[in-house]
Amino acid sequence: MDVVIAGAGPTGLMLAAELRLAGIDVVVVDALPARTGESRAGGIHARTMEIFDQRGLMDRLLPLGRPIQAGHFGGLRMEFGDFPTRFPFTLGIVQAVIERELEAHATELGATVRWSSPVVGIRQDDDGVEVEVGGPDGGVIRCSFLVGCDGGRSTVRKLAGIGFDGTDATMVGMLADVELAEPPAGTVFGQRRGSGDFSVIQFQPGWHRLMVQRYDRVLDRAHEPSFEDFRESFREVAGTDFGMHSPRWVSQYGDAARQADRYREGRVFLAGDAAHIHFPAGGQGLNLGVQDAVNLGWKLAAVVRGQAPGELLDSYEAERFPVAARVLQNTRAQTALSRPGAHVNALRETFTGLLDVDDVRFRIGLMITALDLEYDVKGDHPLTGRRVPDADLAVGGEATRIHRLLTAGRPVLLAFDDGVVPSVDGWADRVDRVQAQRGAERWTIPGVGDVPAPAAVLIRPDGYVAWATDEPDAEGLDEAMTTWFGPATVSAAC
């Protein structure tokens, strides 16, 4: 087996699909007997939608969700409608639906998901990992790499001896999915009160998610809340229970913020909540995990296939660790902004004024949506290291757009007819060369502004730019292809 993935949550399923796209043998093992159908997350952001769109998944996910033209920071509303993306909104879509669709996508590509199969032990040597799997069909699976996508309490992380430092919970949040006899008006309703705040979100007609956050007590994992616990706590803060009944799910969460001290121990990697946990403010965790998976997938595949050197895998932690660290910081800030009291009220008022300033709104909104990411990629073109915009273009006279070129999960060298058309000789087995007619003279890059559309651009499978040029030559292209996709293949004729 090439790769074992522990955990069939959004991160593990996305990673499995990415590896299968690249033809890698993969099995996903999960401790649960079956998918629960429960949903912690209720929404995804623009960059994740772009990532899904790059693989053709938005065609199935968009009709299953509800676009909301805004997001928030610590509960303070921010408009996203003018963000430079094809998806300038938050998509309200429950985690269970995302998982169902990702599982279908991964299994259509040939991945296997084994339920009732917890990882209980690991042993690694220079050539591979022995993964001990419990459950009725348990046993040992030997693989080249193991990826722990097994959530915040990750067994893989513990077995690999990777530390998980950070800050403890300072509050408690509870949620319940219920029906309401007397629902408030609107699809989203929330208020701040004495000791906390509450919100009511209509997921579907007749089905509401209620959340209550309290700052006068702290999360106690030893005590699983009952529906009655939830109702009482909600009533204490909101003064009403909106006639809640028929609970489907009750759960609790806190604002502990922790990050794995490294994302790799030899042949074992961590991704998603296994690598980072934080308060669910702004709905960023699932997004982060899916983007970890898409960053790691093509790199792992290239190394498993023997095309790229093992050092390529070091770029996974180098690129993704700072992104999660930033999310931990912004969620801590959001918790601070959410506490009750006159001082925080004053801070919120100040912040509300700041968010009216477009530059501030863009800066914070682009961070929450992850549209502004810039990986440390060699090159001084303003596009290098940033996500390629989904610009319109035509290929062979047919109208299309850039993200459509990434569906197969392969690197793409995109060159425009009126510029240089560089060769990919030596990499033709793994880099697709596309010659196109540009649809726009300028591209808008979040956090940068408008730049001239380049003459040619080398796009990694995750949609980030490995190299770009405005000049009629291809200086630096071979070096970029070697760095990211491995050395050139020497043809037999040479």
Ligand X SMILES: Cc1cc2nc3c(=O)[nH]c(=O)nc-3n(C[C@H](O)[C@H](O)[C@H](O)COP(=O)(O)OP(=O)(O)OC[C@H]3O[C@@H](n4cnc5c(N)ncnc54)[C@H](O)[C@@H]3O)c2cc1C
Q: Closer to ligand X at the Cβ: 230 or 253?
A: 253
Shortest distance in whole angstroms from residue 253 CB to ligand X: 4
11 binds ligand X (CB under 6 A): yes
Q: Show contacts with ligand X in window 74-113 (CB under 6 A).
A: 95
Q: Which of 2, 15, 16, 42 binds ligand X (CB under 6 A)?
A: 42
Taking a C-beta distance cutoff of 8 angstroms, is the pair 315, 299 a contact?
yes
Q: Which stretch of DSSP H or E encloses residue 92?
A: strand 90-92
The amino acid that residue 396 corresponds to is G
Residue 65 as a binder of ligand X (CB under 6 A): the answer is no
Residue number, 231 or 276, with CB nearest to ligand X = 276
Residue 449 gets the label, from left (phi > 0), alpha (psi -120 to 50) or beta, of left
Alpha-carbon span 434 to 193, nearest angstrom: 57
| Binding residues for ligand X restricted to 175-194, rule: CB under 6 A | 175
Tell me if 326 contacts ligand X by CB under 6 A: no
Task: Decide: is 149 part of the binding site for ligand X (CB under 6 A).
Answer: yes
Minimum CB separation of residue 440 from ligand X in Å reads 31
State the number of binding residues for ligand X (CB under 6 A): 33
Buried/exposed code over 274-289 (b: 16+ C-beta within 10 A; e: otherwise): bbbbbbbbbbbbbbbb
Distance separating alpha carbons of residues 319 and 115, to the nearest angstrom: 31
Please name the residue ranges forming H helices in 249-408: 285-304, 314-338, 342-355, 358-369
| Residue closer to ligand X (CB basis): 271 or 377 | 271
Q: Does 199 bind ligand X (CB under 6 A)?
A: no
Minimal distance, residue 464 CB to ligand X, in Å: 20
Least distance from C-beta 27 to ligand X, angstroms? 11
Please report, as residue ranges, which positions from 238 to 257 form the binding site for ligand X (by CB under 6 A).
253
Q: How far is CA 286 from the centre of its chain?
A: 5
Q: Among residue numbers 283 through 322, which ones bind ligand X (CB under 6 A)?
A: 283-287, 289
- Binding residue for ligand X (CB under 6 A) from 71, 118, 385, 409? 118
Token pair listed for 323 = 């992104």
The strand pair at 268-270 and 264-265 is best described as: antiparallel
Q: How far does the chain reach from its first CA to its final CA, in angstroms?
A: 34
Nearer to ligand X, 64 or 357 (CB): 64
Which residues of this chain interact with ligand X, rule CB under 6 A?
6-12, 29-32, 40-43, 95, 118-119, 149-151, 155, 175, 253, 272-273, 280, 283-287, 289
